Amino acid sequence: MNLTTTSAPLADLDVTQVELPGSEAYMRCATPWNVAVSSQPLAVVVAHDASDIQQAVRWAGSNDIGVAVQLTGHGAAAQLDSSILIHTGLLDECVIHPEGWARVGAGVRWAQVLEAAAAHGLAPLAGSAPDVGVVGYTTGGGLGPVARSYGFASDRVRAFEVVTGDGQFLRATPEENPDLFWGLRGGKGVLGIVTAVEFDLVRLTEIYGGALYFNTADADEVFRAWSSWCKALPEEATTSAAFLRLPPAPGVPAPLAGRTTLAIRFAWVGALADGEQELAPMRAVASPLIDAVGPMPYAALGAIHADPVDPMPVHEEHALLAELPASCVEEFLAHVGTETDSPQIIVELRQLGGAISKHGELPSAVSYRGAAFSLLTIGLGVPPMAQVAADDAAGLIAALDPWIADGTLPNFSAGNGRTRLTDAYDGSTLDHLLRVAHSYDPNVILTAHRALAGAAGQG
């Protein structure tokens, strides 16, 4: 077995487990969720503990090789051909403290925390897809199905344990290494490789939630009604609307397959009867094809968006909207509605505001909290449809330009490539984040740091 790259002997990499191209473990660890993204690192370090990560980072620094990190690969964007990849799947600590907080390793996904916390009547601020890793989601801010009620997941963090780009293993809290603590909440992987995170939980066991799915003939009118109805919702409610063009495929409900439909997602954290009353106007617009909204255990949160679990090739685009007036709604429908031949599989608008717009008790790197809606397009990521989806998404955003707000959100921006990385941060936040990154990673070993610095013109 050849353990030598063009610049460095991998045999000198003193870690517990190294996987090279061709092995089954390499393929399993290196393949991102979005299989349209190229991911062929020089090697995969399967981290058994924080010491493995330290050794890998120090070795990479000595050999001028980049270091990336991955669990599920949902945020994969950069090519890793000249880097080593650290896989955190074995860092599986998950401890729920009944008084209301959790400690979770970097190998844990939200589904495990949801189930473990439910046993104590507690709830984490998980994302719409429980199969996503806790750390990657939280370091990107974390905007979930109850975000208007409780805000960003990163605002609930108590502490991180992290290996920085210079190989140090540090704890970051408001008192210890506060600059790291600031930037790890919203800065994704720019400041280091998180090995564990501690965060507060919400005391909540049941919500009124799910999705209403409307047929093609009703979708446009329901969307118009949703765009007005959602603006009067109190903070107990979080909602989104998504036009779906789902193919006939395993796992796609028959009423939704092969046609254009509209999903109205809804989560209510107040009294269940009040949630039913709040949603009643949407049920009155038209009869849903599927009515899947009702009382549900909080641990079943993933059913609201019903995001796919299996890896697939996709093209994603994202933008924020400052407002959603009737003129914007009509322009949106002209590009996405049922009378169009949109190539997108999903086009989603999430209502923001509420607790999302409020800063946490401590400042963080999360920017652009004041936007009104988040726009996300998801199209097929294989040629020739990938370019068709990309061009169509760009056309949609250009058409909505009068209402587009500054910035993007880190977890939604990851798939948009290097030129979009800086859009997730306002100017002062970007400058601060890069200053902190340079202090802990002076040789710019971390690939997320390299990408952000390069996009900002510093590398």
pLDDT given at position 459: 65
With respect to residue 369, please indicate whether it lies within any of the assigned structural domains.
yes
264 with 354, same domain: the answer is yes
271 with 413, same domain: the answer is yes
Residue 384: cis peptide before it, omega within 30 degrees of 0: yes
pLDDT given at position 7: 47
CATH label of the domain that carries residue 163: 3.30.465.10
185 with 294, same domain: the answer is no
With respect to residue 138, please indicate whether it lies within any of the assigned structural domains.
yes
Query: Across residues 219-238, what is the average pLDDT?
Result: 98
Residue with tokens 């994704």: 188
pLDDT-based confidence at 1, cuts 50/70/90? very low
Q: Tell me the residue range of the domain where 34 lies.
A: 10-87
303 with 222, same domain: the answer is yes
The continuous run of DSSP H or E covering 260 comes out as: strand 259-268
With respect to residue 129, please indicate whether it lies within any of the assigned structural domains.
yes
pLDDT given at position 78: 55
Q: What contacts 413, CB < 8 A, 6 or more positions away?
A: 318, 420, 421, 423, 424
Look at residue 5 and tell me whether its pLDDT is greater than 90: no
With respect to residue 238, please indicate whether it lies within any of the assigned structural domains.
yes
- Calpha distance 451→242 (Å, rounded): 31
Look at residue 64 and tell me whether its pLDDT is greater than 60: yes
Q: Give φ, ψ of 251 to 5 degrees.
A: 95, -15
With respect to residue 224, please indicate whether it lies within any of the assigned structural domains.
yes
pLDDT-based confidence at 136, cuts 50/70/90? very high
DSSP-derived 3-state class of residue 428: helix
> What secondary structure does DSSP assign to 128-169, as a single string?
S-TTSBHHHHHHT----TTHHHH--GGGGEEEEEEE-TTS-E
pLDDT-based confidence at 73, cuts 50/70/90? confident
101 with 83, same domain: the answer is no
pLDDT-based confidence at 346, cuts 50/70/90? very high
389 with 376, same domain: the answer is yes
pLDDT-based confidence at 10, cuts 50/70/90? confident
- Calpha distance 438→457 (Å, rounded): 14
- Domain boundary pick from 179, 203, 227: 203
356 with 255, same domain: the answer is yes
- Report CA-CA distances (Å) from 190 to 50, 51, 77, 143, 201: 18, 20, 14, 19, 26
Per residue in 377-394, pLDDT (tens digit) is 999 988 999 999 999 999
Cα 338 to chain centroid distance, Å, stands at: 28
Per residue in 81-121, pLDDT (tens digit) is 789 999 999 999 999 999 999 999 999 999 999 999 999 99
pLDDT-based confidence at 32, cuts 50/70/90? confident
Q: Pick from 20-34, 171-185, 405-419 the range whose average pLDDT is largest.
A: 171-185
* Nearest residue to 36 (alpha-carbon basis) of 345, 457, 446, 304: 345
Look at residue 247 and tell me whether its pLDDT is greater than 80: yes
- Calpha distance 46→26 (Å, rounded): 9
Whole-number mean pLDDT of the chain? 93
CATH label of the domain that carries residue 398: 3.40.462.20
**DSSP state for residue 191 in the 8-state scheme:** S
Identity of residue 118? A
- Domain boundary pick from 170, 203, 236: 203
- Report CA-CA distances (Å) from 405 to 363, 396, 458: 21, 14, 25
As to burial, measured by CB atoms within 10 angstroms (0-12 exposed, 13-18 middle, 19+ buried), residue 90 is middle
Look at residue 3 and tell me whether its pLDDT is greater than 80: no
Per residue in 154-165, pLDDT (tens digit) is 999 999 999 999
Per residue in 402-436, pLDDT (tens digit) is 999 999 999 987 554 444 679 999 999 999 999 99
Look at residue 77 and tell me whether its pLDDT is greater than 90: no
pLDDT given at position 417: 47
H-assigned helices in 288-409: 326-336, 385-399
193 with 242, same domain: the answer is no
Look at residue 2 and tell me whether its pLDDT is greater than 70: no
Query: Across residues 358-368, what is the average pLDDT?
Result: 94
356 with 344, same domain: the answer is yes
As to burial, measured by CB atoms within 10 angstroms (0-12 exposed, 13-18 middle, 19+ buried), residue 170 is middle
Strand partners, 319: 375
Q: Domains in the chain: how many in total?
A: 3
DSSP-derived 3-state class of residue 270: coil
Per residue in 287-318, pLDDT (tens digit) is 999 999 999 999 999 999 999 888 888 899 99
- Calpha distance 414→386 (Å, rounded): 17
> Would you tell me how many other CB atoms lie within 10 Å of the CB of residue 22?
8
**DSSP state for residue 406 in the 8-state scheme:** S
187 with 288, same domain: the answer is no
Q: What contacts 174, CB < 8 A, 6 or more positions away?
A: 181, 362
